[in-house]
Amino acid sequence: MSNNQTKNTAHEKEPKLTIKEILQEHWFLTRLCFAAAPGGMAFHIFESVKLRISIFFEFIWIVNYALGIAERGGSWKQFCWCMVLFMAAVFVSTVSFAYYKQSLLPRVTPVLHQAFRMHIYERTKNLDLACYDDTEFYQKFILATEESDACIDRYLETIETYSSAVTEFMLALGFCLTVNPLILLVTTGSFLASFWIAGRENRLLVASRMERLPYEQKREYQNRVFYLSDYAKDLRLYPGMQEKCQQDFNQSQKEIRRIHRTYGKKLFICRSIRQAVGSVYLQRVLAWSLLLYQVLVLRTLSYTAMLSSLKAADYVYESAGSMITGFQTAAENAAYVKRIQSLTDMAPLVVSEKNLPASDHPASFDLQNVTFSYQPGQPVLKNISLHIGAKQKIALVGYNGSGKTTLVKLLLRLYDPDSGSICCNGTDIRDFAVKGYRHSIGSVFQDFKIYAASLKENVLLDISSHTKKESYDVEKALYDAHFTLQDNRLVYQIETPLTTEFEKDGVSLSGGEMQKVAIARTLYRRQNLIIMDEPSSALDPLAEYELNQELNEIAQDQTVVFISHRLSTTRDADCIYMMEQGQIIEAGTHEELLAADGKYAGMWKVQAGLYTD
């Protein structure tokens, strides 16, 4: 995409938020934050209001009262009592504010961060796998995870700003209306002009952020390449890749700088105009001119009222400016929250209307004319029809890109087919409750992951009940997967932490050992259907043969679907389906397919030297 196209796209996705929309997004954050920490939020608002009340009394009311005593010829005792009461109130207010700032706020803020992140996770964890194939969705997801804490921080800042500014504005406005209403004319024009310019400035800030997002995403990817251990060996063995990554990083930086330059000019103009129009010096000159005219020419104002009016006018002006800044922050925040909400408001397409419970019986499957495509008009599977009998061992074979993994993703209902049907034990799988159906199937994909957790937790992939039976079942699953617990590195046995990223006693497993842990996950649950996508690719041929024999024995009462390039894994299958370009081109037992002398037989002959009895 060219720079101009990128720019245009960013502007097209940057609609101006109305005041109603800004209020709606902040009302959502208000409900979220008060539900998570009601006492903390109430105290946050209380302190913001109380601080401005105390400042108003300190710098306007007390000054006006003290000077009034002097002008009226009041007593020294009256003044002293006033000061004593005022200092006592200041002491209580200072202690309260110190508790809020140093103790309460640092404890409440992480709670609010967590509440917002959990809202995002809860709303997105059930979204379809297809969402991750969508670039726009993924960018929104990245924005949500990066900006969630900042959204809460900006919200707290906005609440504090408006609670303070509105309180100060109302007190100062009331004082001015009582003592000298004419002084308010000085602040009105600059306030309205600054408010309008701030809205324009905010839209530029958000547009700049959204246009930078794709390039920042690429830059962060290059950062990960350099610091993650996954890439460390390749970067050292292939220096040319280092140069390529650095070039990509520099290109991303170049585009980010270009965007900063483009928007920087506009932001500079907006801020310069806003600061000129709303200059405090201009406001002071106008205020002094008006007040001195009232005192010296009209003689309608005392010197005490003049000083108090000037200070009150300053507060009206400053609080109005704070509300403009607060509005700018609120509008920017609302723009981010709206994008996050658009992400969390997405409804999953893989749903069930009937929510039937998954079958407890060994699974049999019938696929009829199943067609599926990741991108419209580019089918990956074409009119697939096949039968998988209960307790059968089925093998899917074929070259890379033939559609094998996509087919098992449909069996797992990670996607729904574009057309056709998939039935489990005679019932369309779309009628089963999604979570229960997926839980009834065990799967090991070739891109499985090992987590920075204990060996036991990596097998459970669930919250541990810490029972002896659970530990025994985990150890048995590892044993059945041929994982050696007697390894001297496993100091804590199944409680040994895996990976060395966070634990100094952690253990880094080999590729074959990690694959055995992934297989143990499936064996632990004993589901009715087991899907093995290249389950033994990291094992040597002897270990692979032994594991296959064990799996056939362990899973004799379960339906098993194998995907493998090594045909020794598939030769004992009850039925083998040969796939090519999204279609089933051959089906039968190992012997039948060899006799047919087709594509399967050709693959077998290539590998025959490795698997001859």
The residue type of 98 is A
Distance between CA 52 and CA 163 in Å, rounded? Answer: 9
Provide the pairing of β-strand 529-533 with 365-375: unpaired
Which pLDDT does position 3 carry in this prediction?
37
Q: Yes or no: say if 213 and 142 are a contact pair by the CB < 8 Å rule.
A: yes
More confident of the two residues 576 and 347 = 576
Q: Is 82 left (phi over 0), alpha (psi -120 to 50) or beta?
A: alpha
Residue 186 to residue 368: CA distance in whole angstroms? 78
Query: H helices within 73-134, ranges in order?
Result: 76-99, 105-124
Residue 368 to residue 384: CA distance in whole angstroms: 6
pLDDT value at residue 16: 67
- Name the percent of the chain lying above pLDDT 90: 11
CA-based nearest residue to 594, from 585, 584, 604: 604
User: Could you report the per-residue pLDDT of 585-613, keeping only the tens digit for each?
Assistant: 989 988 898 899 888 888 888 776 554 54
Tell me which residue of 519, 514, 501 sits closest to 452, measured CA to CA: 501
13: pLDDT confidence band, cut at 50, 70 and 90? very low
Q: Which among 92, 64, 82 has a CA at the least distance from the CA of 176?
A: 64
φ and ψ at residue 605, rounded to 5 degrees: -65, -35
pLDDT in tens, 61-77: 776 776 677 666 667 77
| Degrees to nearest 5, angle at CA 155 with 149 and 157 | 105
Amino acid letter for position 374: Y
* pLDDT tens digits along 369-427: 999 988 888 889 999 999 988 888 888 888 888 888 889 889 988 889 999 999 988 89
Confidence of residue 5 (pLDDT cuts 50, 70, 90): very low
First to last CA, the chain: 56
| 406, 443 Cβ separation under 8 angstroms | no
Number of alpha helices (DSSP H) and beta strands (DSSP E) in the chain = 21, 10
Q: Is the pLDDT of residue 10 over 60?
A: no
Q: What is the pLDDT of residue 113?
A: 94
> What is the rounded average pLDDT of the residues 309-322?
77
Residue 154 is predicted with a pLDDT of 92
Q: How confident is the model at residue 108 (pLDDT cuts 50, 70, 90)?
A: very high
**Helices 19-36 & 38-56, crossing angle to 10 degrees?**
120
Q: What is the pLDDT of residue 301?
A: 78
∠ CA(480), CA(482), CA(483), 5° rounding?
110
pLDDT digits (tens, 9 = 90+) for 188-209: 666 667 777 777 787 888 888 8
Which band of pLDDT confidence, cut at 50, 70 and 90, is reported for residue 11? very low
Q: How confident is the model at residue 9 (pLDDT cuts 50, 70, 90)?
A: very low
Coil vs helix vs strand at 246: helix
DSSP 489-532: T-TTGGGPBBSSSS-TT-BPPPHHHHHHHHHHHHHHHT-SEEEE
Both tokens assigned to 554: 């362990």
Max intra-chain CA distance, the chain: 120
Rounded distance between C-alpha atoms, residue 441 and residue 525, angstroms: 9
Amino acid at 401: G
Residue 488 has pLDDT above 60, yes or no: yes
- Give the pLDDT of residue 33: 94
